[in-house]
Amino acid sequence: MAEISPSAVPGDEHFYRYLQQQKREDVATAAGKASTSQAAFMAFVIEFPDDKDYRVLINSPIAFTIDSITTKSSTGTCTLTGAINATALGGTANSVSTSESEQTHTTDNAVAVGDDVVLTVSSNSGAENVSVTVKCTLALSA
């Protein structure tokens, strides 16, 4: 918005002050605009996991990035590997135990429209109630 200055016409001073206040509010609003990315998550519980693939998202309706996977079980241990279609996420698989474990993924982590997200359980040793949180980032239009 261009600079505004009051004229010598009576009553314009109030209008000038109003416009200056609006300008300050517009600047404050612009500073608080949403970013072009949005955090999201998916959460799952696999009560009695077997060594197999769990296809948790089929034909994704949106594109997003998987940032990390966090796991914890109520008892036992296993390994959980995240994948997009048949490609494992870049980084380390989760060693699931009764302690919370988060693994970040920075490569092979982009889900496209139509992709599937797969969680693969392996090396299961009595794991039960495996809680899984998949942290994601959605890219928004500007």
DSSP for 13-31?
HHHHHHHHHHHHHHHHHHH
User: pTM to 2 decimals?
Assistant: 0.75
**CB of 41 closer than 8 Å to CB of 135:** yes
Higher pLDDT, 5 or 131: 131
Stretch 32-37: mean pLDDT: 72
Q: What per-residue confidence (pLDDT) applies to 84?
A: 98
Query: For residue range 41-94, what is the model confidence (pLDDT) as tens digits?
Result: 999 999 999 999 999 999 999 999 999 999 999 999 999 999 999 999 999 999
pLDDT for the residue 24: 73
Stretch among 6-10, 31-35, 41-45, 66-70 having the lowest mean pLDDT: 6-10
Residue 133 has pLDDT above 60, yes or no: yes
Task: For CA atoms 77, 78, 79, 84, give the dihedral sign.
Answer: negative
pLDDT number for residue 75: 98
Which CATH architecture does the domain made up of 37-139 adopt?
A: Sandwich (2.60)
Given this model, what pLDDT does residue 1 score? 46
